[in-house]
Amino acid sequence: MRLAMLFSMLLACAAPAFAAEGATRSGLSIGGRAAYLDADNSREGDDVFYGGAQVRLGLGEVLAVEGSADYRQARFRGRFVDVYPVQASLLAFLLPGKPVSPFILGGAGWYFTHVRVSGENDHRLGAHGGAGLNWKFHDHWSLDATYRYIWLDDIEQVGGVVGADFDDRGHMGTLGINFHF
């Protein structure tokens, strides 16, 4: 619900720009982003807000590759779990050359996970797919909002506790601001 409101607000602010021409997405951009994770097995209040950075390389008007790195901390059964997601995505813009363009995305991520109390470390790989909206409102600046569903394996028996499986697959939303070179 919160993610739908975010997309609606971004779309309402940028609607007049849909008709304008000339926005290019070629080249390099870097930026920061805020992220939100709603894991499939989370209970009310377990959702996590966190942040990170992203870099994009436009491969013309239609395609771009994105790399991102984030940090999030979750509390799981009285233990703090630090997760460092590093994702790579391919983006395909649906309205090339327009300042506001929806896009679809897909990719994979590496998730380094550390359980503080037990000192356990885990390395997981997972795929993701989703969609987003990009608004290039200036020659050097753009805003983007994305939705991803992340498929990720559980970490079984966190801290050696039978039945304590850490599951953070689910819905991820981001809001980013990017500087274009």
Q: What is the pLDDT of residues 142-176, one digit of tens each?
A: 999 999 999 988 776 665 554 566 777 889 999 99
Q: What does the pLDDT look like over 15-39, one tens digit per residue?
A: 444 444 445 567 899 999 999 988 7
- In angstroms, the Cα distances linking 77 to 5, 26, 83 are 31, 46, 16
Q: Is residue 19 part of a domain?
A: no
| Predicted local distance difference test score (pLDDT) of residue 43 | 56
Average pLDDT rounded to a whole number, residues 97-106: 95
Q: Domain range for residue 63?
A: 2-14+28-180
Q: Is residue 20 part of a domain?
A: no
Q: What is the CATH number of the domain that holds 98?
A: 2.40.160.20
Burial of 114 (0-12, 13-18, 19+ CB in 10 A): middle
Q: What does the pLDDT look like over 102-150, one tens digit per residue?
A: 999 999 999 998 877 667 788 889 999 999 999 999 989 999 999 999 9
Q: Is residue 171 part of a domain?
A: yes
Q: Which bin fits 12, alpha (ψ -120 to 50), beta or left (φ > 0)?
A: alpha
Question: DSSP characters for 51-87?
Answer: EEEEEEEE-SSSEEEEEEEEEEEEEETTEEEEEEEEE
| Rounded distance between C-alpha atoms, residue 30 and residue 15, angstroms | 24
Q: Is residue 55 part of a domain?
A: yes
Number of domains in the chain: 1
| Predicted local distance difference test score (pLDDT) of residue 153 | 82
Q: Is residue 69 part of a domain?
A: yes
Q: Is residue 116 part of a domain?
A: yes
| Predicted local distance difference test score (pLDDT) of residue 15 | 45
Residue 41: pLDDT band with limits 50, 70, 90 = low
Size of the chain in residues: 181
Q: Is residue 22 part of a domain?
A: no
3-state secondary structure at position 171: strand
Q: Is residue 158 part of a domain?
A: yes
